[in-house]
Chain A
Amino acid sequence: MSSSVEAITVLSSDGDEFKITVSAAKLSKPLNWMLEDVCFSDDCDEVPTIEVNSKTLVKVIEYCEKHAPRANSGASDSDAEELKKWDIEFMKMDVKDILFHILMAANYLHMEGLYDLACQTAADLMKGMTVSQIRKIFHIKNDFSSEEQEQLRRQHPGCSFD
């Protein structure tokens, strides 16, 4: 395969095929490595698998394709402004359902921009939640013994365990 390929095919963890353009794949180091492997290997039939489920991968690729032109060439101020608005719209999603998957994927694919954006969005959504809501969405068990809870209450009056 020559280096003139414009898009590569990858598999999601569910086994679905996705196409991602070369310039978009450059936003992620691991994807970029895969791309180099595909471009320079003789065995072109092998399709690399990305350990991200289909639903999440669609979103990640959407983000890459949108941000690729700017990341590769730099953009004017008005473009940057437009991209900001797009990011906000893009992040309007359910925390449990998809945002957490995006977070893990961005971390795994070393995509700094998306990772920061997703962390910030998650934090904004969590701000108003109660302690028990946080436990629920993160699947965290309250591992404090009742003595430890008592001690924390003494240290921080007004602290709540629900």
Chain B
Amino acid sequence: MDMPHDIVIEIFSWLPAKSVHKFKSVNKFCNTISSAEDTYFNEKQSQNALLRDDSCFFLQPNWIQRYRAKHEFHHLSSKNTTSGVSHGFFQFLEHYPACRIIASSKGLILGRSNIELFICNPVTQSWLPIPTPSYLEKYPDADLKVVLDCNVEDSNDFMLFLFEVQDEWASQYIDLRFYSVKECMWKSVEASFFHGGRPLRFDMHVYYRKALHFISNCYTFISKKSPYFRPYIMAYNVEDGSSRMIRIPKEARRGSHDLTCQMGIYKWGKPTSSYDSICLVRLRKNVFTIWVLANYEIDKWRRILKIRVKAIGVKEKDPIIVTGFIVMNGDKLIFATEEKIYGYGLRQENFMKLEEICKHEFGRGEMSFIAFSDTLRPCGHTVVTLPLMQQN
């Protein structure tokens, strides 16, 4: 059967970037798909990618951003071990001075090298230098509190927010700026973000119902009388600038001051499904507990799982120490032990199914996961190639 070209293009737009590249050698027509000039295809592919699962992740130690970090790159599925991420990009990560990935969303990553910032697509090897915000010039050693999210309508655009935290304990308001891709500059946002009494974890956010959600830390230093005595979630609505506090479940608040207690919030469910929401994962005394926000308006949570790490089925020497975790694609808990990375299903037929994903070399150090998917998403309109590549 001869397939009309427009249908071939449509099918290709649902492929991950690495397959699109692989199939360039099918024939001359396929070779023209996804060229830099073919903006229709590239935009379509990146919009479709918003509906696809992330297929890989970066691992890096939980060090302060100022310093260079070793990165590891792994695939969620052991069947699928090639990605569109080029060798050149890994070299770039390794050799560019003090290079760190600080955020990632649907094929784009936000990188930092000292006070230099850039957006980069590791698959197309395009990059977009971002002017250093004045905040970073003033505090060059600070950990940047930034949010990158590609869930926007225009595939040439992305959401990039900078939260200018001065002193979290002193002020309950945080000024913020957003980066305008069109104007190539940081712009201030009128409504500041009310963050409550605790520092928030800006390294993980959930974009849901037009608002960015952050969870606070669990430290014990706050007086019992304070409304912020227990951890909470704070939401910032990007459309109207309003802030809203969301209470976490009572059971999660209890014992949250325990030194081993760690909490994270992640997107729950698929973007196309009707049940998308936020999930909360707590790891305390080697027990994972997971809740899903069942009613957003009245902060009603539903507990879906409580399990000892030991009971999950990991075949390692006791005591098993969890060094990091994340929920990927709204349905899978990924966690690291001293030696390996595991995946643990949270929904439907994969519920409570354990799989070994890979080994890692970070040992006992705490680490963070950065989810990634290979897409052809452009870094704005200006296309520049990675700097190291130009030298070659």
- Contact call A77/B1, Cβ cutoff below 8 A: no
- Contact call A119/B25, Cβ cutoff below 8 A: no
- Contact call A119/B11, Cβ cutoff below 8 A: yes
**A115-B10, A138-B3, A138-B8 known; A144-B28 Cβ under 8 A:** yes
Q: How many residues of B contact A (CB 8 A)?
A: 33
Q: Which of A108-162 contact B (CB under 8 A)?
A: 115, 119-120, 122-124, 126-128, 131, 134-135, 138-144, 148-149, 152, 156, 159-161
Interface assignment of A104: CB less than 8 Å from any CB of chain B: yes
Contacts of B31 in A (CB 8 A): 144, 152
- Contact call A144/B16, Cβ cutoff below 8 A: no
- Give the contacting residue for A134; candidates B16, B23, B80; CB below 8 A: B23
Contacts of B166 in A (CB 8 A): none
- Contact call B24/A152, Cβ cutoff below 8 A: yes
Contacts of A115 in B (CB 8 A): 10
Interface assignment of B22: CB less than 8 Å from any CB of chain A: yes
CB distance from B293 to the nearest CB of A (A): 15
State A142–B28 Cα separation when bound (angstroms).
Answer: 8
Contacts of A134 in B (CB 8 A): 23, 26
Interface assignment of A29: CB less than 8 Å from any CB of chain B: no
CB distance from A81 to the nearest CB of B (A): 6
- Contact call B28/A84, Cβ cutoff below 8 A: no
Interface assignment of A107: CB less than 8 Å from any CB of chain B: yes
- Contact call B19/A140, Cβ cutoff below 8 A: no
- Give the contacting residue for A140; candidates B6, B7, B12, B27; CB below 8 A: B27
State A122–B3 Cα separation when bound (angstroms).
Answer: 13
Which residues of B are in contact with A by a Cβ distance under 8 Å?
A: 1-4, 6-8, 10-16, 19, 21-31, 48, 79-80, 272-275
Which residues of A are in contact with B by a Cβ distance under 8 Å?
A: 77, 80-81, 84, 96, 100-101, 103-104, 107, 115, 119-120, 122-124, 126-128, 131, 134-135, 138-144, 148-149, 152, 156, 159-161
